[in-house]
Amino acid sequence: MNPEASSQPPAAGERSEHGVVHVLVIEDDARLAGLVAEFLTSRGMLVDVAGDGARSAVA
């Protein structure tokens, strides 16, 4: 483990120290958000979903 690594998780879209991309999907259409999240997850990304910008501010 990198001793200089922060204890904070990587920001959305950045790679973690293990090379995993973390993506935040903000979409108010739950069906579309689910499809996007499923696709990104199948490509090896960590995905969080927020239904709107206000909810994403706390994610």
For 1-57, what is each residue's pLDDT tens digit?
444 555 565 565 566 666 788 899 999 999 999 999 999 999 999 999 998 766 555
Q: How far is CA 59 from the centre of its chain?
A: 9
- Name 21's Cβ contacts closer than 8 Å, sequence gap at least 6: 13, 14, 15, 44, 45, 46
Total domain count, the chain = 1
Q: Look up the domain containing 55 and give its range.
A: 1-59
Task: Judge whether 16 and 7 are in contact, CB under 8 Å.
Answer: no
pTM of the predicted model over 0.85:
no
**Rounded to whole angstroms, how far apart are CA atoms 27 and 8?**
25
Q: Considering only CA atoms, which of 15, 36, 17 is closest in space to residue 27? A: 36
